Amino acid sequence: MKERRRSKVVIRDHHHHHRRSDSMAAADRSRGVVRDEFVTYAYILLYIALSSGQIFFNKWVLSSKEINFPYPLGLTLLHMIFSSVLCFLLTKVLKIFKVEEGMTLEIYVTSVIPIGAMFAMTLWLGNTAYLYISVSFAQMLKAIMPVAVFVLGVAAGLEMMSCRMLLIMSIISFGVLVASYGELNINWIGVVYQMGGVVGEALRLIFMEILVKRKGIKLNPISLMYYVSPCSAVCLFLPWIFLEKSKMEEGGGTWDFHFLVLTLNSLCTFALNLSVFLVISHTSALTIRVAGVVKDWVVVLVSALLFADTKLTVINLFGYAIAIAGVAAYNNHKLKKEASSRVISETPGDDDSESIALVSQANTER
């Protein structure tokens, strides 16, 4: 009898302990989820702050009287060299991060070089545009990005043509046109440069998608920068020799090399590129697009407050609002499509978990 009572007590104890460990695990899990959400939002905020800050910083370096460095190619080249050296130091010398294996010459030639070249083109043309047009107008023109991504995506066979998408694209284009119509002193050279930058960025996103989806390569942020930066630097070096080298030599006395400002600028760019990859690896490429929309509004409104050359008109803002509504619809459509395709091909750990695992693994190996 005593034996049975004791065994009951033991079983009750065991159940009680089991329940407690269950509730503790649940509490831990919910804490983990909250922490993950917090980390994700922190990354997104970091991205928005760095991205908008960098735009103003570049504009200031390129077109201010104090710094006097009107050489977008030179500036971008500096960024890429800085990024290459820093990645090399972090991975090979200090060994803080590991560069992932699995990179072959074929993948390098077919994917990394196009990504590097497009990245170089985007930065060069986008930065050159700041010499001609205001920051806020440049941002408004950038709203056309989903259209470029979609059109090129259809050409590359990554996207399907549909009536809804065509409608969304028309809305965005119309909004951007209205915003441009509202721009008081429009400079067509600047518009052409900005559009070139947008096409470059769209191509880069498509090459990235091909690299990850078709070739199935997941690189952590540092590895990607380690491979892409030197390639972008080389792609920028060639036009720099032909287009800006002589100008810089001629104006040798007029422009000063502000070492500290340019180093800080390069460091900001590096942090920005890193934060883009961090947000993508923690969420998705879609989140970065949504965060990008928020950032664009921040930039447009802040530049109206900061810069004298920015005169926003009602037509400007109205057109931009239409374009942004279109971008939001595009993101929403993408989200639904991605969600439905994920349900169809639900494979555990299929997402970006590998690259996150590798990033965290690299961090713990310190």
Q: CA nearest 120: which of 206, 235, 222?
A: 235
Confidence (pLDDT) at 159: 81
78 and 205 part of one domain: yes
What is the DSSP code (8-state) at residue 253? T
82 and 126 part of one domain: yes
Q: Could you tell me if residue 241 is inside a domain?
A: yes
Confidence (pLDDT) at 20: 56
Q: Please tell me the distance from the alpha carbon of residue 72 to that of residue 92, in angstroms, as a whole number.
A: 30
207 and 330 part of one domain: no
140 and 118 part of one domain: no
Q: Could you tell me if residue 253 is inside a domain?
A: no
Long-range pairs for 56-65: beta carbons < 8 A, 24 or more residues apart: 56/135, 56/299, 56/302, 56/303, 56/306, 57/265, 57/268, 58/127, 58/130, 58/265, 59/130, 59/135, 59/307, 61/261, 61/262, 61/265, 62/127, 62/130, 62/131, 63/130, 63/131
147 and 244 part of one domain: no
Q: Is 95 left (phi over 0), alpha (psi -120 to 50) or beta?
A: left
161 and 127 part of one domain: no
Q: Could you tell me if residue 180 is inside a domain?
A: yes
228 and 139 part of one domain: no
pTM beyond 0.85: the answer is: no
Q: Please tell me the distance from the alpha carbon of residue 255 to that of residue 260, in angstroms, as a whole number.
A: 15
Confidence (pLDDT) at 76: 92
Q: Could you tell me if residue 323 is inside a domain?
A: yes
Q: Could you tell me if residue 243 is inside a domain?
A: yes
Structural domain count, the chain: 2
Runs of H (alpha helix) within the chain = 2-63, 72-88, 105-107, 113-129, 135-142, 145-156, 163-182, 188-213, 221-243, 245-250, 259-282, 285-306, 314-344, 353-364
The structure tokens listed for 263 are 């180093």
Q: Please tell me the distance from the alpha carbon of residue 187 to that of residue 239, in angstroms, as a whole number.
A: 23
Q: Could you tell me if residue 347 is inside a domain?
A: no
116 and 156 part of one domain: no
Q: Could you tell me if residue 366 is inside a domain?
A: no
Q: Could you tell me if residue 212 is inside a domain?
A: yes
- Report the half-sphere exposure of 343 (CA within 13 A, side-chain side): 5
Confidence (pLDDT) at 351: 43
291 and 169 part of one domain: yes
206 and 332 part of one domain: no
Quote the domain boundaries for residue 213.
72-131+201-248
Below-70 pLDDT ranges, the chain: 1-27, 252-256, 284-286, 308-309, 342, 345-366
Q: Please tell me the distance from the alpha carbon of residue 117 to that of residue 105, in angstroms, as a whole number.
A: 16
What rounded mean pLDDT belongs to the chain?
A: 81
